[in-house]
Structure 1
Amino acid sequence: MLQSYETLFTPFKIGKMEVKNRIVMSPMGTNSASPDGRISVDEIDYFEARARGGAGMIIMGCQFLTEDLAQGSLEGILEKDYVIPMLTDVCEAVQRFGTKIVAQLSCGTGRNAFPNMFGEPPVSASPIPSTFNPDVICRPLSVEDIQVIMKQFADSAKRVKAAGFDAIEIHGHAGYLIDQFMSPIWNKREDEYGGTLEKRMRFPVEIVKSIRGAVGPAMPILFRISCDHRFNGGRTLEESMEMLKVLEAAGVDALDIDAGSYETIDYIFPPSYLGDGCMDYVCAPARQAVSIPILNSGNHTPETALHLIESGRADFAMFGRPLIADPDLPNKLLVGRREDVRPCIRCNEECIGRIAGRLTKLSCSVNIQACNEKRFAIEKTTSPKQIVIVGGGPAGLEAARVAAIQGHSVTLYEKELVLGGQLASAATPPFKNKLRELIRWYENQLTELGVTVKLNTFVTADDPILEACDQIFVGTGAVPIVPPIPGINRKNVIGAIDAHLKRELVKGDHTVITGGGLTGCDLALELAMEGKKVTIVEMQDTLAPEVFFINAASLMPMLEKYQVQQLTGHRVLSFEENGLFVQKADGTKTFIQADTMINAFGMKPNTEVSNLISSKYHEKTRRIGDVVNVGKVGNAVRAGFFAAVSIDANSTKKPSLQLN
C-alpha cells in the first residue's frame, strides 16, 4: 500500500459500530425503485459492487416514510413490511465484504419537490412558496400531522433494523422538509415548532427520539445537515453550530455535514467549477462545537480526503460520484494503484441529470455499467477478433478499452499527436482538470491492456488494415462549424480548439468569443481567469441553454465574477482588422473592438472519412460518438462501450444454420 494513503484505511467507530476504513459512500438516490416502494435488483447489484470495491461504509439514498411523502420519487418507500426482503438482500450483499450499510430515512422534500412529482401542493413547515413553482403555496403540517410522521419514523426504523441495516441516517439536509423546520427563512410557525432555535429544533429532536425508541440504544443514528446554506437569509455556519450541539445532546451518534441548499443547488451536486474539497470548510467549526464523529462530502479526491482525515477536522471522507465512476476506488488506493482510479469528471449529466431530466435511473458518463452491473457485464470472448478503431476520442478510447478487456486484439489509430479528441482541448481550463485525468486514465488502461495505439496516423478507406480486420469502429469526431461570415478567415480570427491548445494565437488583452454555448462559455471563463478582457457574442437570448441547470448555477456566477461581458441576442455581421460588427434583432448595429476573435459557433460530425469507410465495409463498420451525433462526453463513451460489448453479436462471420 502506498504510504501516503494509509490513514484512509484505519478503522474508526461511530457509537459501538466500527467501520473498517474512513471512506464512506455518500447517500445518492438511484431513482430505480418500483412504484410500490421495493428497491430494485439493479440497485442491490450497484451497492454490492461498491462494497466489493472496498468502501468502509455505504449510506443509501434516502428512503421515504410513505408513498405520499415520496411525492413520486422512485426511491425506496418504507411504509409496508413487504419491502423488508429486498432490503435484507442489499444489506447482506454489502455486509459480506465487511462494509457497513446505513439506511437514510426521509419524510420528504417538502417545498423542494419537482413540479412533475406532485399533484397536490407539497407539505412544509409553513405556507411558503414551492421552490420550483413559486405560484404553488405549500400546505403547512399540523401538529397532528407531525405526530403521525413521528410514528412513521418509528415504524420505518423498525423495518430497516429488521432488514439488517447497521445504522440509520436522518435526512435533514439541503432545505428538505426537516431543514424547513430548522431554518427561520422557511419556518414561520408560531406554535411549539417555530420561533426560537430550540422550538425550530423540536421537529428533528423528536425524530431522533422516535427512532431511538424504535431501534434501542445500540444502533447508531447519523444526521445529515447542511451547515451553510450559502444564500442571503439562509442558515449560516454560526447558527448551524448551535444546532449541531442540540443534535448531539439529543443522542445523534455522528454528523454528516456539508454546505448548500436548493437555492444554491450547485453545492448539492457540485460541478467541476467548484473545485476539489469544496465543502470541507464546514468541518473545523463543527469539530470545535461537538465531540461526536464527523463525516464530510463535497468533490473530494483521494488527496483532499487524506488531508482532511490527517488534519483531524473530520473522521470520514465521503465519496459520492467518484464511487459511481469507479466502485473500486478504495481497493485501488489500498494496493497502490492510484493511476488506475477512473476519475469522475463532475459533469452531472448522467447521474442527477439523467434522473432530473429524463426521470430514469442513475448512470454515469464515464462508467456505463453504473446501476447496470449485471446487464452490462464485460465478458471474455471465446472468439478473439482483430478490431480496428479509427479515432482516439472518448468513443474510440472506450471501445478500445472494453474490446481489449473482452480479449480482442485492438489497434487504435489517431491522426493527431495526442489522444483525447475534443477532450484534449476542452481539458485545458483549470476547472476541467478531471478531463485531463480521464485522458491519462485511458492512456494507462490501453497500455496495461496491450492495445496498439498509433498516433499521427491518418486512416483512409483504402488502407489494407481495414480489409484485414474483423470489425471497424469509426470515431472521427466532429469539426468546427465555420459559417460564411465576411472576414472569418482573417489571421486574428481563430477556432476555439486552437484557442485552447495554441494559446500564443490569442493575442492582446481584448478577446471576443462568437458563440455562447458551453464551449464558448468555458473558454471565456478560462481566458478571463488569466486576465483577459472577454466578451461573448451569442445570437440566442441566453448563454449556454444546453448546459444542465445545476452546472449553470456555478458557471454563470463565475462569468460575472471574472467580468465576462455577455452580449446575447446579437448576430455577427463581419470580422474586421480590429474587431467585429454585430447586429441586434431590431437591426441595431454595433462595433466591438477586439485583438483576437474566437469562433465557437459549434461543431458538426466529421463524416468525410467515416462515410467512405462505412460505404466500403458496411457489414463490419460501426460509427460511434460525435461522427454520428455531436454530443457530450457521456454520449461518446456510451457509444464506444455499446459498440465494444456487441462485437461478438456483430461478427461478420455467419454462424452455421441448424436444420431440424
Structure 2
Amino acid sequence: MSHPYTKLFTPFHIGNMEVKNRIVMSPMGTNSAGPDGRISLEEIDYYEERAKGGTGMIILGAQFLTEDLAQGVLEGIVEKDYVVSMLTDLVDAVQRYGTRIIAQLSCGTGRNALPDRSGKPPVSASAIPAIYNPEVLCHPLTVEEIQTIMDQFADSAARLKRAGFDGIEIHAHAGYLIDQFMSPIWNKREDEYGGSTEKRMRFAVEIVQAIRKAVGPNMPILFRIALDHRFEGGRTVEDSLEMLQILERAGVDAIDIDAGSYERIDYIFPPAYLGDACMDYMCGPARQVVNIPILNSGSHTPESAVRLIESGDADFVMFGRALIADAELPNKLRDDMREDIRPCIRCNEECIGRIIERNTKISCAVNIQAANEKRFTIEPAETPKNIVVVGGGPSGLEAARVAALKGHSVTLYEKEAAIGGQVTSAATPEFKGQLRALIGWYERQLQQLHVQVQLNHEITPDDPALQAADHIFIGAGAVPLIPPIPGIDNDNVVGAIEAHLQKELVRGEQIVITGGGLTGCDLGLELAMEGKKVTIVEMRPEAGQDVMYINRAALMPMLDSYGVTILGGHKVLSFEANGLYAEKGDGTKVFIEAETIINAFGMKKNTTIAELIRAKFESKTSLIGDCVNIGKVGTAIRSGFYAASAI
C-alpha cells in the first residue's frame, strides 16, 4: 500500500495498547440511551458500522457516573451493574474488527448543566453563576462531596473494565465540571483544590489516581482537555502547557486536545465557517512539553490528517462528524478511494442539532442511515423498476442513488447544465468547500451506479419517459420569492442565486443584500471576503435568525470582522437606480446607497411542473424535497432517501 494516505495506516501505541491506525473517532454523544442508563441496540449498530469501516479507535460519547450527574441527558450511565451486559455487547461488536474502544467517563457539566429537576443549583468548583441563569449560583463541592465523586469514578471505571473496554478517557474539556476546577476563571477556591495551578489540578489528578487504582497498571487512561478556551479570561494554550505536564506525571497515557467552551460553542461543534483543521495549532506547543501520545480533533480532512501526522506534532487524528457522514471513511482512504468518501457538510443540523433542539438521537444531514443502520438498511427490490427522477437537487440526487442501490433502472432529468440545484449556488463561498464536494460525490456515485443523467432536459408532462416509467420522483425544488416592491425589476437588482453563480452581475463595490436569512448572510460574508463593502437589510430585528445557533455563533462575528453592516428592523420600500428606500421600526424612512442590490428574500415551493405531472400520473408520482416543504440540504436528502427506499 503506497498512496497519499499511507501514513494514516501505521500502527501506534498508547501505553501497552497498540492501535492499528492513526484514525480515531471523536467522542460524540448519540442521545440514544434509555432513561435507566443502558445504551441502545441502535447505538451498538452505529459504533459497529464505524469499526467495520476501518476506524483504528473509537471513543464513546460521555458515559456519566450517576443519574443525577447525567441531568436527564440520554447517554450511558455507569452507576449500576445491569449496564455491563449491553456495554459488553458493544465492546464485542467493535473489537471484532480489530478496533480499539475507549469509554469516556464524565462527572457532569457543572455550571453548564440544565436546570435540575429537583430545583437544586448545579455543582461547580466555586459559587459561580450557572450558565443557563446567571442569577443562580452554583453549589461549590465540599471536600467530602469531592471524595464521593472519586469513589464513583473508581466504581464506574471498574464496571467499564469488566465490560472489556480497551481504555478510559476522562472527559475534562469544554468548560465542564473538571475543567471548572482546572481554570482560574471558574475556580475561586482557597483550599487544597484552588489557588495555584498544582492545586487547581488536584481534582483532575485525583480522578486519574482513582481510575488507575480501579483498573490496574495496564489499562490506558486518556485525558480530554481544551487547551484554548478562546474567550476573554479563559485559558490560553500557553496557560495549559504546565497542566499537561502535571497530567503526564500523574500517569495519563495520552492527551486528547482541542479548543472551545460554552462561551465559544462554535469550537465545540465547528461549523463550516471555521474551516479545516481549526484546532491543530495547539499540537506543536503541546508536543514540546509532553512525551505521551497526542490526539487532535477539529474538522480534519484526510489531507490535514496526513500533514499533522507527518509533522510529528500529533500521533492520532480524530474524525467526528466526518465518520457520522461516512462510516467507511478509513477503508476508503486505505484503498485510495478518496473521492468516494461522502463529505460531512458541517451543518450541525441533524447531529448535535437534533439532540439540542429535539432531544432525540443523533442523525446526519447527508447520511440518513446514521444511528439507524439496521432499520434503514437498503435492501434489493424484489422487482426492479424503471424509475424517473425529475430534478437534480439534493432530494433528486439522493432518490436516484438509493433507487439505483435497490437495483432499479434510474434516469434523472435536470433542466440545467449541471446537477446540484440550489446547492450549486450556495456552495460558491470558499468556506462551503464541503458542500461543493457533496455534489461531486453524488456525481461520482450516480455514474458508478449507472444512473442515466440527462442534463439540459426540462421535462414536460407529455414526455414519453414519464409514460414509460414505473415510478416518478419529482424534486423540482424552489424558486426565489419576488415580492411586489417598486423597482425590483431594475437592472441593478440581482437575485441571490445569480449573484453566487454570475459574479459579473455584482457590479461596483457597494453592495446591499435585502434579506438577512442564511442565504443573505452567507452571500454577504462571501462578498465581503472578496473585498466588497456589504450591507444586509433585514425586516426582522436581527439577521441570521434562521441559522442554527451554534453556526450563528461563528457566522455573526465573522460578518462583523469583515465589516458587514447589518440593518435589522428595516422594511424595504422601493428599489432605486443608486440604492433603496427602507422604513425603520419607528416609521422613519431612510435611503441606503448601493451599486448593486441583491434580492435574498427567500424561496417558495416550485409546484407548477410537479402538479401537472402528478395530475397526469397520480398513482405513480411522488413529490420530494423543497417542492413539498422548503427546508435545508439535510431535509431534502432525507425526503429523497425515504421516498426511494420505500419503492
TM-score category of the 2 structures, normalised to the smaller one: over 0.9
Task: For residue 114 of structure 1, report the CA deviation from its aligned partner.
Answer: 3.2
Corresponding residue for residue 331 of structure 1: 331
Task: For residue 315 of structure 1, report the CA deviation from its aligned partner.
Answer: 0.1
Corresponding residue for residue 19 of structure 2: 19
Task: For residue 133 of structure 1, report the CA deviation from its aligned partner.
Answer: 2.1
Matches within 5 A, 1:257-336: 257-336=257-336
Q: CA offsets per residue over residues 75-130 of structure 1, 9 Å max, x none?
A: 00000000000000000000000000000000001111234877432111111111
How far apart are the structure 1 equivalents of 2:213 and 2:41?
Answer: 31
Corresponding residue for residue 651 of structure 1: none
Corresponding residue for residue 541 of structure 2: 541
Corresponding residue for residue 497 of structure 1: 497
Q: Tell me the amino acid that sits aligned with residue 360 of structure 2.
A: T
Q: CA offsets per residue over residues 394-436 of structure 1, 9 Å max, x none?
A: 0000000011011000000000001000000000000011110
Matches within 5 A, 1:284-433: 284-433=284-433
* Aligned partner of residue 34 in structure 1, secondary structure: coil
How far apart are the structure 1 equivalents of 2:245 and 2:446?
Answer: 51
How far apart are the structure 2 equivalents of 1:518 and 1:232?
Answer: 28
Change (3 A) 1:507 1:117: farther
Corresponding residue for residue 209 of structure 2: 209
User: Which aligned segments of 4 or more residues in structure 1 are displaced greater than 3 angstroms?
Assistant: 114-119
* Aligned partner of residue 31 in structure 2, secondary structure: coil
How far apart are the structure 1 equivalents of 2:391 and 2:118?
Answer: 46
Q: CA offsets per residue over residues 346-383 of structure 1, 9 Å max, x none?
A: 00000000000000000000000000000000111121
Structure 1 gaps, min length 5: 648-660
CA contact (8 A) 2:181 2:193 kept: yes
CA contact (8 A) 1:2 1:333 kept: no
* Aligned partner of residue 411 in structure 1, secondary structure: strand
* Aligned partner of residue 4 in structure 1, secondary structure: coil
How far apart are the structure 1 equivalents of 2:2 and 2:112?
Answer: 43
Q: CA offsets per residue over residues 442-501 of structure 1, 9 Å max, x none?
A: 000000000000001001112121121111110000000000000000010010000000
How far apart are the structure 2 equivalents of 1:407 and 1:95?
Answer: 33
* Aligned partner of residue 210 in structure 1, secondary structure: helix
Corresponding residue for residue 112 of structure 2: 112
How far apart are the structure 1 equivalents of 2:417 and 2:126?
Answer: 61
CA contact (8 A) 1:500 1:523 kept: yes
Corresponding residue for residue 37 of structure 1: 37
How far apart are the structure 1 equivalents of 2:575 and 2:72?
Answer: 52
How far apart are the structure 1 equivalents of 2:459 and 2:358?
Answer: 38
Corresponding residue for residue 234 of structure 2: 234
Corresponding residue for residue 600 of structure 2: 600
Corresponding residue for residue 174 of structure 2: 174
Task: For residue 276 of structure 1, report the CA deviation from its aligned partner.
Answer: 0.3
Q: Tell me the amino acid that sits aligned with residue 89 of structure 1.
A: D
CA contact (8 A) 1:73 1:117 kept: no
Change (3 A) 1:417 1:25: same
Corresponding residue for residue 480 of structure 1: 480
Matches within 5 A, 1:481-630: 481-630=481-630
Q: Tell me the amino acid that sits aligned with residue 414 of structure 2.
A: E
How far apart are the structure 2 equivalents of 1:351 and 1:135?
Answer: 31
TM-score (norm 1): 0.97
Change (3 A) 1:269 1:287: same
Task: For residue 546 of structure 1, report the CA deviation from its aligned partner.
Answer: 1.2
Corresponding residue for residue 654 of structure 1: none
How far apart are the structure 2 equivalents of 1:408 and 1:230?
Answer: 51
Task: For residue 15 of structure 1, report the CA deviation from its aligned partner.
Answer: 0.1
How far apart are the structure 2 equivalents of 1:460 and 1:126?
Answer: 69
CA contact (8 A) 1:175 1:262 kept: yes
How far apart are the structure 2 equivalents of 1:133 and 1:599?
Answer: 39
Q: CA offsets per residue over residues 179-224 of structure 1, 9 Å max, x none?
A: 0000010111111111111110000000000000000000000000
Corresponding residue for residue 637 of structure 1: 637
Structure 2 gaps, min length 5: none
Q: CA offsets per residue over residues 279-331 of structure 1, 9 Å max, x none?
A: 00010000001000000000000000000000000000000000000000000
Q: Tell me the amino acid that sits aligned with residue 180 of structure 1.
A: Q
* Aligned partner of residue 257 in structure 1, secondary structure: strand
Change (3 A) 1:623 1:119: farther
* Aligned partner of residue 511 in structure 2, secondary structure: strand
Corresponding residue for residue 253 of structure 1: 253
How far apart are the structure 2 equivalents of 1:106 and 1:289?
Answer: 26
How far apart are the structure 1 equivalents of 2:576 and 2:451?
Answer: 48
Corresponding residue for residue 77 of structure 2: 77
* Aligned partner of residue 228 in structure 2, secondary structure: coil
Change (3 A) 1:140 1:50: same
Corresponding residue for residue 89 of structure 2: 89
Q: Tell me the amino acid that sits aligned with residue 65 of structure 2.
A: L
State percent identity of aligned pairs: 71
Change (3 A) 1:255 1:499: same
How far apart are the structure 1 equivalents of 2:205 and 2:480?
Answer: 58
Task: For residue 136 of structure 1, report the CA deviation from its aligned partner.
Answer: 2.2
Task: For residue 544 of structure 1, report the CA deviation from its aligned partner.
Answer: 1.4
How far apart are the structure 2 equivalents of 1:422 and 1:118?
Answer: 48
CA contact (8 A) 1:2 1:335 kept: no
How far apart are the structure 1 equivalents of 2:506 and 2:590?
Answer: 23
Q: Tell me the amino acid that sits aligned with residue 580 of structure 2.
A: L
Q: CA offsets per residue over residues 588-647 of structure 1, 9 Å max, x none?
A: 011111100000000000000001111221111110000011100100000000001100
How far apart are the structure 2 equivalents of 1:119 and 1:422?
Answer: 47
CA contact (8 A) 2:116 2:122 kept: no
Q: Tell me the amino acid that sits aligned with residue 373 of structure 1.
A: E
* Aligned partner of residue 511 in structure 1, secondary structure: strand
Corresponding residue for residue 61 of structure 2: 61
How far apart are the structure 1 equivalents of 2:117 and 2:523?
Answer: 36
Change (3 A) 1:244 1:296: same
Matches within 5 A, 1:115-194: 115=115, 119-194=119-194
How far apart are the structure 2 equivalents of 1:327 and 1:225?
Answer: 26
How far apart are the structure 2 equivalents of 1:502 and 1:235?
Answer: 45
How far apart are the structure 2 equivalents of 1:231 and 1:566?
Answer: 24
CA contact (8 A) 2:209 2:250 kept: yes
How far apart are the structure 2 equivalents of 1:407 and 1:60?
Answer: 35
How far apart are the structure 1 equivalents of 2:559 and 2:32?
Answer: 36
CA contact (8 A) 2:71 2:116 kept: no
How far apart are the structure 1 equivalents of 2:414 and 2:138?
Answer: 56
CA contact (8 A) 1:2 1:334 kept: no
How far apart are the structure 1 equivalents of 2:610 and 2:115?
Answer: 43
Task: For residue 550 of structure 1, report the CA deviation from its aligned partner.
Answer: 0.5
* Aligned partner of residue 3 in structure 1, secondary structure: coil
Task: For residue 68 of structure 1, report the CA deviation from its aligned partner.
Answer: 0.2
How far apart are the structure 2 equivalents of 1:593 and 1:545?
Answer: 25
CA contact (8 A) 1:390 1:459 kept: yes
Task: For residue 139 of structure 1, report the CA deviation from its aligned partner.
Answer: 1.2
